[in-house]
Structure formats: structure tokens, C-alpha cells
Amino acid sequence: MMKYISTRGNAPELTFEDVLLTGLATDGGLYVPKEVPQYSLEEIQSWRDLPYTELAHKVIYPFVEGCVDSDALKGMLEDVYNNTNFGHKAIAPLQQLDHNEYVLELFHGPTLAFKDFALQLLGRLLDYVLERRNEKVVIMGATSGDTGSAAIEGTKACRNVDIFILHPNGKVSEVQRRQMTTVEGDNIYNIAIEGNFDQAQDMVKASFGDQSFLRGERKLVAVNSINWARIMAQIVYYFYSSLNLGGPLRPMAYSVPTGNFGDIFAGYMARKMGLPIEQLVIATNTNDVLHRLMSKNQYEVRPLKHTITPSMDIAVSSNFERLLFDLYDRDGSVLAGLMAKMNARDDIISLDEDKLAKARELFDSLAVDEHTTVEVMKEVYAETGYLLDPHTAIGVKAARECRRNPNIPMITLGTAHPVKFEDAVGRAGFDMPELPHHLKDLMEREERLSVLPADLNTVQQFIAENTFRD
Ligand SMILES: *Cc1c(COP(=O)(O)O)cnc(C)c1O
């Protein structure tokens, strides 16, 4: 059975089941697999003809073995990655932009962003584990856009989960709000906070820190990308895209629009498991903390900027700690010291040059401003007639700038559908594309939300009252 350890070396080893139900480790670290399964090229090649669901079983099962029965996992994967739930039969199709240049379309799920790949599965896994334990949990999260809707869609059918998603009232786009507030389910609560995203986020953090308002009967579960199960589900599409383009017999390069470093870390994991990946490009917007670190070896947290790529608007990139853990030879105590310095934020921190050099063997990075993002959307449309969402456009720009070898296929992860990002599409001079089939009547559907003041007590009381209603 796979064991999971904390990146800071001072928390108990956990099973998959416990990691699924936990947020941060008790020492403040993030959980990672103690040993990563490794596959030979022959073995990976033998997966070449598998459809998405079967490939997902090969990749995911070793991470959950002993906690989730093989057939049960198969059932969940079939329930998630099918043509009713995803609007494309291939689940993760490739779109070609140029010779050896591709976009991997990860936006055919229910909420039109890649987060569906993980959160759809996470909901099923939670319910399966909770049913067996005869427990119920509360999901609480704050969102400025994509995570909230994907989490709500992923857990709406869960019998053992109540979900409370906070968003800043009036500060998310109409499509994004409606994707959260029109989902039917009596375990779903949308809370519109009369305040900004940071206030909502602070209330969530405070609630995780002191959960006494739940009277000890329930636990809070985190659905942001610090949850290992999310990373795990995202490893699959690196294998899938590579195998579709002649891997593992030829290497691939990937460019990944990055915020919290979750999606790109999944690519790093795929490589550790044996998939030949030559290069990973970290593509950021002007919230460029990772690009400054990679290019100048200066780690400095700066205030958040709001951009036309809101899903990449972050000040710190929490999953980067998982990469640092490997760079520092999985030494938890060294990493705990480094993270304490990095989190103190009173200084510019540098990594040891040899550690950074190791990272640079695989990773390149680029930060892309709003003007350039919009220009790339226009440019790619002129070249191919294909409209990129602004996040993906940042990925394509970074792919083109950072590419090392034109003979290696370069795949940019297409993280969202452009219809979600009206601002950027308008600025690039395009009409709004049509909503995909399953969302055609989104603008007419009935909304359900509760507007609450930005007051911790009021919010916690609301959650407690609705959690113990039965
Ligand atoms: C969440 C998100 C990202 C960033 O993903 P990370 O795993 O946080 O790096 C990029 N693009 C879109 C559209 C997203 O929703």
C-alpha cells in the first residue's frame, strides 16, 4: 500500500485515504508519495492503444491501492470520463497549431476548465471512502472563478459531503457565477461575501485553523490543489497525449499555464514515473513569482495583481514546495527551514545554485503580460482560425519563446474554454463564442446563493446551521 509523507518531514505517514481527507500536513507541509511507481518504456508503450478511462486506471491505481478497490476505481473512472460528462469523446483531444506544435484541450468537462479532470474524480473518491467510514465531511473553499464551479460540479452527487463555496459578491464573471449558483443539489451552498476574494480566503483559512464551529462532529476537507488526489488525476493526460503522438518512443515537451504549480507538477510526476519528457515550461501571467525565481534566483512575494487570466492570479505558488522537496533530496528538515525563510517574506530568498541548476535542466519559464496575451490570441486565430482562451494563450507564448528543440513535439495545456473569459475575448476583438451544448440555457437557469457580510462568525454560523439541518 502506498504511503504518503510530508514535505517537511515532521508529520505522520498517511495512507491515500487519510491524505484524501486531509489538507496540509500537521507540520505545515504537503503530502507526496513516499515512493513513486516507475515504468519501463516497454510497459508504457503497451498502454498505447488504451482509451482514456483505461489508461487512467493504469496510472491512478498504484496511488490508491489498498484504499480503493480496483473495480470500484474502474467504476468511478467510467462514471467521470465519458461522453455524457465530457463534451468530447476523446476526453482530452489534441488540436494541432503548427508542425510539431499542439494544444491539449482539457476544457470539455462540465465547467469548461481542466480542474474538472481532478475534481470530478475527487468527489467520487470522497463519497466512496466516507461511505465506508460512515462519516460525513464539509468542504469549504473560496474561489475567484474556476475552482468553485468545478468543486461544486464534482461533489453535487455526494451523499456524504456538504459543500460551501465563498465568492466575492459581484466580482466574478456572470458565466462563472452562474456555473456555481445554478447547480442543483441540496448539499450545495454558494455564499456571496460582501467583500473581496482575500477576505473570503482569510475566512476559509481561519476556519481550517479552528474548526470548533463544527462542534467536533465533522471535519473540513480542502479541495484546492494542495490535495494530492487532484495532482494524481492530472498525471493521466500527460501519458495520454504523449502516447497519442508517438511517445514514449519519442520525448515530448509541455508548456503549462501556471498558478499554484499543481498542473505542471503533475507533468513532473509523469516524468518521474518514466514518461520521456524533455522540457516543462512554466508559463505565468504578471503574477510572476516563479518566473523571477527560475530566471534570476530571487524569491520575493509581491502583492497580487488582478489580470485577464484570473485563474493564474496568485501571490505564492503553494505546490512549488513539492518540487523543492525533491530538489533538496527529500530532506524534510532542510525544507522546513527553507520554507520558514520563504514564508517570512521579509527578504529576497535565493536557492542553492546547484539545486536551481537541477531544476533548470527540465524547467524553463516565461511571464506574459496582458497586451501580449491578447496579441497571441489574435495571432493564433489568424494562423489557424482557432480561438485560444487567455490562459492557454500564455502557455502558447511561453512554448514558442522557450522551446529548445523544434523536432520534439511541444504541447501546451489548453486549460480553459474561451467562453469563460469575456474580458479577454472582447479585448482581442472577438465576439463571444457560443456556450457549449450542455450549457446552452445557463443564462436562463435559476440561481441559488446567500449573500453574507464579510464576517467570520456569521459565515461559520451559516455553515453550522446548514450542516446540522438533519
Ligand atoms: C487553475 C487554472 C490554472 C492554474 O493551474 P495551477 O494548477 O494552479 O497551476 C490555469 N488555467 C486555468 C484556466 C485554471 O483554471
CA distance 453 to 195: 7
**Domain assignment of residue 126, yes or no:** no
Name the residue range of residue 369's domain.
Answer: 94-113+228-427
Angle between helices 353-362 and 289-296 (to 10 degrees): 110
Q: Please tell me the distance from the alpha carbon of residue 53 to that of residue 60, in angstroms, as a whole number.
A: 10
Q: Taking a C-beta distance cutoff of 8 angstroms, is the pair 276, 411 a contact? A: no
In a domain, 190, yes or no: no
In a domain, 241, yes or no: yes
Regarding the beta carbon of 260 and ligand 1, being less than 6 Å apart is answered yes
Judge whether 374 lies within some domain: yes
Which pLDDT tens digit goes with each residue over 393-430?
999 999 999 999 999 999 999 999 999 898 899 999 99
Tell me whether residue 307 is in a domain.
yes
Domain annotation covers residue 140: no
Question: pLDDT tens for residues 348-390?
Answer: 999 999 999 999 999 999 999 999 999 999 999 999 999 999 9
44 within a domain of the structure (yes/no): no
What is the count of structural domains for the chain?
1
Angle of CA points 29, 35, 39, to nearest 5°? 135
- 4, 448, 441: which is closest to 182 by C-alpha? 448
Are 400 and 103 in contact by the 8 Å Cβ rule? The answer is no
For a ligand 1 pocket test, name from 311, 317, 320 the mutation site with the most ligand atoms within 8 angstroms of its C-beta.
311
Q: How far is the CA of 414 from the centre of ligand 1 (A)?
A: 10
pTM: 0.96
Report the atom number in ligand 1 closest to the C-alpha of 389. 13
Model confidence band, residue 51 (pLDDT cutoffs 50, 70, 90): very high
- pLDDT tens per residue across span 74-120: 999 999 999 999 999 999 999 999 999 999 999 999 999 999 999 99
Q: Enumerate residues 6+ apart whose C-beta is below 8 A from 75.
A: none
Quick one: pLDDT at residue 469?
A: 60
Cell, residue 155:
461533489
Tell me the CATH number at 253. 3.40.50.1100
How far is ligand 1, taken at its centre, from the CA of residue 246, in Å?
27
Other residues' Cβ atoms within 10 Å of the Cβ of residue 95: 15
Give yes or no for residue 263 CB within 6 A of ligand 1: yes
Residues 6+ apart with CB under 8 A from 168: 144, 192, 193, 195, 196, 197, 199, 200
Residue indicated by cell numbers 450545495: 188
In a domain, 404, yes or no: yes
